[in-house]
Copies of this chain bind each other. A is one copy, B any other.
Amino acid sequence: MSSTAPFQLSLADILKARHRIRDFIHVTPVLESNVLNERSKTSLYFKCDNFQKTGAFKVRGATNAILLLSNADACRGVVTHSSGNHGAALAYAAKIRGISAHIVVPEDAPAVKIEAIKRYGGIAELCEPTNAARHATAEKIQRTKGAVLIHSSDNQDVIAGQGTLALELIDAVVGLDAVFCPIGGGGLISALAIVAKGVSPGTRVIGVEPIGVADAYNSLKSGILDQSASGETIADGLRATLNEKTFKVVREFVDDIVTVSDSQIASAMRTLFQVLKIVVEPSAAVAYSAIMDGIKGYEGKRVGIVVTGGNLALDKAHAYLTCPRF
């Protein structure tokens, strides 16, 4: 679906996505911990998509979008200018269908990102490390090869695929009072909000955003879409901004957005490592970081925590897990 068509994602689209991608993804576990429940004075249910194929939930949306391409479109390949988890996920999904995936990567990207893309058979298309160069390179590949752009959040089929995480969580845990979810481009939380309001209307949906890139928070508070995120955060997966599609859903269905500091995020990573025994990347720790020491109004509540990915290089692990700076 092109980005100019009206956005009208339904529960049916998400249920159809679940059937479409089921042979290619994991149904990930939901973990619990008495120690963490006591600390936060809530009952927490961690939906662990760090255990998802490619190490992140992004594979859900990328797979759904690629499986929905017509044969005529698919044979020309796909392209994206997201070099992170969405890029690796797109390479994985393209391999399932046997088509090419061009992933635009800034020249200064860490080697680990390029390795992840190549591991799944993707083609890393290097460009200068600017936003303009990333978009120009992606456009050139669309133009010269006819490749289809699959945006990481401004794409209805991608968003429908991300919603399968929400379906699994709502199925696994009955009677959730709230779900806390990281917010970056807004694709995942949009799908989550559509599922929650449709299937479990008593469940509040709370976005959590790093304070350094609080564009979604600003957009929700002001009512005007803010795409000016230029700050810094260790949660690099959340630097993307909302788009028209996701802002519309966030305004309508997301109950609140809260912000967290990098120091809270690193502290949450350490706690999840030590107590829950899971490896999470900074972006995946933000939802838990908001509630780890409790929040007024949530005492005794049943709260879902969306854990989005576990792609953490060992050198970063060292810095975040053991460095007193965080």
Contact = CB atoms under 8 A, between A and B. Distances in A.
A63 to B, nearest CB: 14
A15 interface: no
A279 interface: yes
Contacts of A113: none
Interface in A269-326: 270, 273-274, 276-280, 310, 312-315, 317-318, 321-322
A197 interface: no
Contacts of A122: none
Number of copies: 2
A50 to B, nearest CB: 4
Nearest to A31: B51
Interface string A17-60: 00000000010010110110000000000000011010100000
Given A26-B32, A29-B29, A32-B26, A314 B277 contact: no
Interface string A58-97: 0000000000000000000000000000000000000000
A277 B51 contact: yes
Contact of A314 (B29, B35, B50, B270): B270
Interface of A: 26, 29, 31-32, 34-35, 50-51, 53, 55, 119, 270, 273-274, 276-280, 310, 312-315, 317-318, 321-322
Q: Which 9 A-B pairs have the closest CB atoms?
A: A277-B310, A29-B29, A277-B279, A50-B277, A318-B322, A314-B322, A273-B279, A314-B321, A31-B51
27 contacts: A29-B51, A31-B51, A34-B53, A35-B119, A50-B277, A51-B277, A55-B277, A270-B314, A273-B279, A273-B314, A273-B317, A274-B279, A274-B312, A274-B314, A277-B278, A277-B279, A277-B280, A277-B310, A278-B278, A278-B279, A314-B322, A315-B322, A317-B317, A317-B322, A318-B318, A318-B321, A318-B322
